[in-house]
Structure 1
């Protein structure tokens, strides 16, 4: 067992820190859409200009430069619009910076893997945790050329990182590249232009506590009236006092509408974003706000009544209910979903599978145990080589999206989520649980057995099962325990307690003085039987 890595401790996942809800803007007039396009286009051009300045500053950016950026935008918009633009561009630069670091780490991992495999003889087999050599000289030569390519890329990315340079495309790099491949993307030039402009618009404003309805720039009243504070160059388009434009549409948030109404009535901060879906031709308004961190239950409380072990796979969630001692209860459950089609369809499939899982857990008043999966380092082609199907499989698993949605939805239903280390759960689950749980009417899969292993690790139990008692023709006459003790029970891994008594033909062996001494069983110099027994003398007086 020395080659196995240390398993991290389990913990209860904290709840979400924010809320976002969306509503369609129905009933917009042609004038309303014209105003939204002009405001979004003007502020989008200012955001592009500010992003260029922020990227040029790099890591040397400070509060004084931030103030200069804001003053440069205030004259062409307003103080609040300028503050929102500078914060958004700074967040965009920081996100690109984190992506640059992740890309550099991925390139470094690929270089290290290829360098190690090139140093091995051709055809050499790898050991556990260490890959061997390449299969042929042709592959060795191809990988040696790829090593130079990766080293050049790593050198360029490292130079950009040290200089503080990032490469950002407002509107998205994918959409920008689609301009040169319109036929492959299924877009016409006019349709691509419309989508490109909509993605580069800026129509969002941060909330302000204490201000009317929680936002002075984009304001939605409790009755659903939506108004926008127009930038200075477009003030002549105002149809309401104080340079505001009131849209004809009425906003109605169906999801969390009561929470949103409570916040805007109390003038608490609510951030808004207006965006246009060019494919559907619809406008939407998104409201978001921060919520206080949810107090997570202690780990022992989540374990108290048992829990549900969940194993995430490419097309389904495998779940099995466990009691507080780690014993599987009932039959395994499977919650299917498909990851094909549009992004909206895939997202809906994941939500549907999760809500069925959570409703099942709520009925039994149980917490959920999931793996802390992160396939960022396992998606590289250098680690898995020719296993293209496996790389495609793990690349398609929506680990981040599923984890975020599960935590958010579980917090709403009051279900605790316990995260465990994913090390060896599938392997040990199949080894220790798949065959024992198989019966004439139940055929559990490896994924079902992995769900049991995940649940036992979350409960603090060992994944392996207790050894079944030996046949009755053995010396101890089937005396081993088979019931699982609680993880906090002292001596649960120790020998059975000694039962005193004589060794006669009517009493089974193994109950002598050394029955509890495991070091004395079947070893030279020791006897596993009882010492000579002598009848105590009878008392002489009553």
Structure 2
């Protein structure tokens, strides 16, 4: 057996740093929709030009160049619109750089895997930790050619990164490629064009503390009135003073509406985004603001009422409640979800599963949920798992990042702490030590439910290996000792267990058993009772 890697200590995950709520803009007039389309199209064109300028600057960009870009956009919009556009451009360029680095790391991982497997003899079997050689000469030759392709891609990606070149598509690369596969996507050219233009619109504004209702550009008053500061070329569309356009609809935020109203009344910063959902042909407005970081609970305080261990899988969450001593109590719970379909459906499925999980935690009175600190970034490379196509799709389809973010945000609102643990060996050790003992005639424990127990015990600081029962008293010599004893360095490991004062049964009088821990009183071998002078009596000579 190879050397096991070290296990990282569990920690309490930090809460969310911001809030975003969305609601629908209902009962818009044709004039309102026309104004929103014109504003979004005009600002979208400015955002595209600004992104082009930022990509052209590359690594030579500076704060002075940022100010120059903002001054150039101000006459065609306004100072606040220009600031919002340039900030969004900067964030988009930075995101593209991070994605570029992740792509380079993915290519490097794939190249290392192929080189290792090409160096092995054809047909050599692999192990659980390292893949073997390729199965045939044909596969070896195909992978040798793919190695050259990946090396060329890596060289080009490294050259782009050193030169500060990023590849960004406003509106999305996937939607841009759909233009060449309209029949497969079941779209007409006009429908695709409408979706493409809507995705490239820009109608979002950052908030400003101290300004009226927290935003001077897109403003929502306490009485739910929505108004927009029109760009300079569209000022003729204004239906209110100071170049503003007031929409005919009224909005109300059902989720966190009280928090939003408090910020509006206090003139605290709130950012807004207005966009069109082309699939539903509906307009939405999203409000977002930053929240002060919630101080994380100490690990001991979070675990004071037990913990719920949660194991995330491709189609469900397996959860089990553990008491203070790490023992599973009650029955396991399973929260199903379906990760097929569009992104909105998958996101809703994750939210619904986490909502049921948190409601169960509140019912149990538990203040902590333990999850694995999963990160499948290094596992998504195509060469990592070879021909295991379905397994690669399974890993890629698990929204681990979204799951962590959703759980941290939703748990923070309910006052439940999220404890992240090292995912090493939880499934293997959980199945080895807990699956069979927790299986009974009326309940079949799955491997995932046993992993949930392992995750919860690791969060509590207990070893995953369970302590086995002692052997029968009449067969102690034959049955042997416990398989999970204290280590050799633990103080007083050979001593007796602490005795509880008083009789344990009605048939035992008080004071009985006081010498249970006195090894001398029990005349055990190797004790001081045998260290005195000893003499053997003479054997008898006759009957």
TM score, norm. by length of structure 2: 0.90
Corresponding position of 1:338: 338
Corresponding position of 2:259: 259
Measured in 2, the distance between the counterparts of 1:190 and 1:513 equals 95
Q: CA deviation at 1:478?
A: 8.1
Corresponding position of 1:106: 106
Measured in 2, the distance between the counterparts of 1:303 and 1:433 equals 21
Q: CA deviation at 1:495?
A: 3.2
Q: CA deviation at 1:494?
A: 2.9
Q: 1:532 aligns with which of 520, 527, 530?
A: 530
Q: CA deviation at 1:345?
A: 2.6
**Superposition RMSD in Å:** 2.6
Measured in 1, the distance between the counterparts of 2:526 and 2:179 equals 83
Corresponding position of 1:450: 451
Measured in 2, the distance between the counterparts of 1:11 and 1:322 equals 18
The 5 A counterparts of 1:106-145 are: 106-145=106-145
Unmatched runs of 5 consecutive residues or more in structure 2: 499-514, 534-543
- Alpha-carbon distance change, 18 to 510 in structure 1, aligned in 2, over 3 angstroms: closer
Corresponding position of 1:472: 473
Q: CA deviation at 1:131?
A: 2.3
8 Å Cα contact 2:320/2:332 also seen in 1: yes
The 5 A counterparts of 1:67-216 are: 67-216=67-216
Instruction: Give SS of 1:383's match.
Output: coil
Question: Aligned residues, how many?
Answer: 514
Q: CA deviation at 1:185?
A: 0.9
- Alpha-carbon distance change, 314 to 101 in structure 1, aligned in 2, over 3 angstroms: same
Unmatched runs of 5 consecutive residues or more in structure 1: 500-507, 518-526, 536-542
The 5 A counterparts of 1:218-237 are: 218-237=218-237
- Alpha-carbon distance change, 415 to 260 in structure 1, aligned in 2, over 3 angstroms: same
8 Å Cα contact 1:498/1:511 also seen in 2: no
8 Å Cα contact 1:369/1:417 also seen in 2: yes
Instruction: Give SS of 1:393's match.
Output: helix
CA offsets, 1:243-278, max 9 Å, x none?
111111111111111110110111000000000011
Instruction: Give SS of 1:377's match.
Output: helix
CA offsets, 1:174-200, max 9 Å, x none?
000001110111111011000100000
Measured in 1, the distance between the counterparts of 2:199 and 2:167 equals 17
Instruction: Give SS of 1:326's match.
Output: coil
Measured in 1, the distance between the counterparts of 2:15 and 2:258 equals 20
CA offsets, 1:290-330, max 9 Å, x none?
00001111011112221000001111111111111111111
Q: CA deviation at 1:528?
A: 5.7
CA offsets, 1:73-119, max 9 Å, x none?
01111111100000001101001110000000000000011111111
Confirm whether residue 58 of structure 1 aligns to residue 58 of structure 2: yes
- Alpha-carbon distance change, 479 to 351 in structure 1, aligned in 2, over 3 angstroms: same
8 Å Cα contact 2:309/2:371 also seen in 1: yes
Measured in 1, the distance between the counterparts of 2:324 and 2:220 equals 49
Q: CA deviation at 1:365?
A: 2.0
Measured in 2, the distance between the counterparts of 1:32 and 1:511 equals 90
Corresponding position of 1:494: 493
| Bigger mean CA deviation after superposition, 143-152 or 475-484 | 475-484
Corresponding position of 2:433: 432
8 Å Cα contact 2:496/2:517 also seen in 1: no
Corresponding position of 1:409: 410
Q: CA deviation at 1:474?
A: 3.2
Q: CA deviation at 1:468?
A: 2.5
Q: CA deviation at 1:496?
A: 3.9
Instruction: Give SS of 2:226's match.
Output: strand
- Alpha-carbon distance change, 162 to 513 in structure 1, aligned in 2, over 3 angstroms: farther
Instruction: Give SS of 2:378's match.
Output: coil
- Alpha-carbon distance change, 514 to 398 in structure 1, aligned in 2, over 3 angstroms: farther
Q: CA deviation at 1:470?
A: 2.1
Corresponding position of 1:347: 347
Confirm whether residue 395 of structure 1 aligns to residue 402 of structure 2: no
Measured in 2, the distance between the counterparts of 1:435 and 1:155 equals 51
Measured in 1, the distance between the counterparts of 2:471 and 2:17 equals 54
Measured in 2, the distance between the counterparts of 1:110 and 1:453 equals 32
Measured in 1, the distance between the counterparts of 2:92 and 2:528 equals 78
- Alpha-carbon distance change, 44 to 468 in structure 1, aligned in 2, over 3 angstroms: same
Measured in 1, the distance between the counterparts of 2:226 and 2:521 equals 84
Corresponding position of 1:373: 374
Measured in 2, the distance between the counterparts of 1:123 and 1:158 equals 34
Confirm whether residue 285 of structure 1 aligns to residue 285 of structure 2: yes
- Alpha-carbon distance change, 357 to 242 in structure 1, aligned in 2, over 3 angstroms: same
Instruction: Give SS of 1:285's match.
Output: strand
8 Å Cα contact 2:121/2:133 also seen in 1: yes
Measured in 2, the distance between the counterparts of 1:458 and 1:418 equals 7
8 Å Cα contact 1:23/1:286 also seen in 2: yes
- Alpha-carbon distance change, 492 to 22 in structure 1, aligned in 2, over 3 angstroms: farther
Measured in 2, the distance between the counterparts of 1:498 and 1:78 equals 77
Measured in 1, the distance between the counterparts of 2:206 and 2:79 equals 12
Measured in 1, the distance between the counterparts of 2:437 and 2:297 equals 33
Measured in 2, the distance between the counterparts of 1:141 and 1:473 equals 66
8 Å Cα contact 2:372/2:423 also seen in 1: yes
Instruction: Give SS of 2:3's match.
Output: coil
Corresponding position of 2:270: 270
Q: CA deviation at 1:36?
A: 0.7
- Alpha-carbon distance change, 247 to 143 in structure 1, aligned in 2, over 3 angstroms: same
8 Å Cα contact 2:73/2:82 also seen in 1: yes
Corresponding position of 1:321: 321
| Bigger mean CA deviation after superposition, 344-353 or 433-442 | 344-353
